Structure 1
């Protein structure tokens, strides 16, 4: 059985305008403890979580992640028009990402919490996908705070590496490329 940890990011507004992504780190349940322990080693004293945007240790973070048994699935939507609100972008990415996760055998998805109201929107999105019969399996989603689960730091870093790649720097992305699959999201 597999679990996916999911985080979001908007790309660089100047170099890659209107781009939104959801990254899923897919880990076999038997490998979760090893991956979680490895990610915890990245915490600095006094640090609550590892967050790509706040870090100067991108090489160490990506090297640690690349050494884990993790598959990455990244849903990317590019909509530079002004009407592309982040919440709509997220909904469209979830519409594509969640069925793909189920097809890969994922039974549980952990998303970084954005607050009660926004977390409920994710649950509503899953229920809407079910009503449209885009998901055959029993996928459960839960929300936790970023500091609570080090495995949420993996999709955060993956989003950071993808953003760098989309903006012309493939250094960190190249290390994740062998285990990364993109989903282009239209709509």
Structure 2
């Protein structure tokens, strides 16, 4: 099944997060319509950080109800370095998902760095370059960019927000501490855990709840994510440190 992927970032202290919403072509119009219907009068986009808590709960609830799905990539270190490593991991997945279109929220002049990295990786995959397009868009250019914006913010916020967004998260890829290129230093191993079933779209009965009351991942220590299925509407999961 081919998919479209929408990407946005969030930062929590020393933790950098990249969220990628994975949408089959047949669900694009439905999710775009959903986001447009959630806009307040005069709004051109949903900016999750700027919303009040009541709006945040409503938006997350609608995304869960309508089956939005996203993966999260996170790490600690200088944001530009962590972003580059997260994007590389994401691109490996994008290629395996038979992605037809990759949309990344624009960061202005910094988009050139993303484009160079994407071009460098895709030169190794001629067939992928022929079938997949990628572009940077402003948040109001495609309503689906609201999904990774909300997922990244809520997961990074931890506590009850992470619990609420958990049913939309298919996988969390923890890259640990990202060192400077060429520097030799101890780094936590990459921790990657997924739900049972095929990616990128797991069954609606699977969900991640890696809630930690203290908030986002503490990258000074190695973490292990244990994932359990939803039973009777209750999400089970544990982040061990």
TM-score, normalised to structure 1's length? Answer: 0.84
1:156 and 2:154 are equivalent in the alignment? no
Could you give the per-residue CA deviations for residues 85-111 of structure 1, whole angstroms, max 9, x where no partner exists?
x22221111011111122122221111
Kept in 2: contact 1:102–1:135 (CA 8 A): no
1:175 corresponds to 2:168:
no
Q: Which residue of 2 aligns with 1:118?
A: 110
Q: CA deviation at 1:54?
A: 0.4
SS in 2 for 1:184: strand
CA contact (8 A) 1:96 1:185 kept: no
Bigger CA drift: 27-36 or 68-77?
68-77
Find the residue that maps to 2:38 and give its secondary structure.
coil
Q: Which has the higher relative contact order, 1 or 2, with Cα contacts under 8 A spaced 6 or more apart?
A: 1
Equivalent in the alignment of 1:94: 87
Task: Measure, in 2, the Cα distance between the counterparts of 1:179 and 1:105.
Answer: 20
In 1, Cα distance between the equivalents of 2:143 and 2:126? 28
Secondary structure of 2:40's match?
coil
Q: Distance in 2 between matches of 1:182 and 1:163?
A: 12
The CA deviation at 1:6 is 0.4
Q: State the aligned residue count.
A: 171
Aligned to 2:96: 103
- 1:4-153 alignment runs, 5 A limit: 4-11=5-12, 13=13, 18-56=14-52, 57-79=55-77, 84=78, 86-115=79-108, 117-131=109-123, 133=124, 137-138=128-129, 139-153=132-146
Matches of 1:110 and 1:130 in 2, distance apart? 15
**Residue 60 of structure 2 contacts residue 165 of structure 2 at CA under 8 Å; is this kept in 1?**
yes
Offset at residue 130 of structure 1 (A): 2.9
Instruction: Mark the structure with the bigger radius of gyration.
Output: 2
Report the CA distance shift for 1:6/1:135 in structure 2 as closer, same or farther (over 3 A).
farther
CA distance in 2, matches of 1:54, 1:21: 18
- TM-score norm. by structure 2 comes to 0.66
Gaps of 5+ in 2: 179-241
Three-state SS of the structure 1 residue aligned to 2:43 is coil
Instruction: Work out whether residues 39 and 64 of structure 1, in 8 Å CA contact, stay in contact via their aligned partners in 2.
Output: no
The CA RMSD measured in Å over matched residues stands at: 1.8
Instruction: Give the direction of change, closer, same or farther, for the CA distance of 1:135–1:103 in structure 2 (3 Å limit).
Output: farther
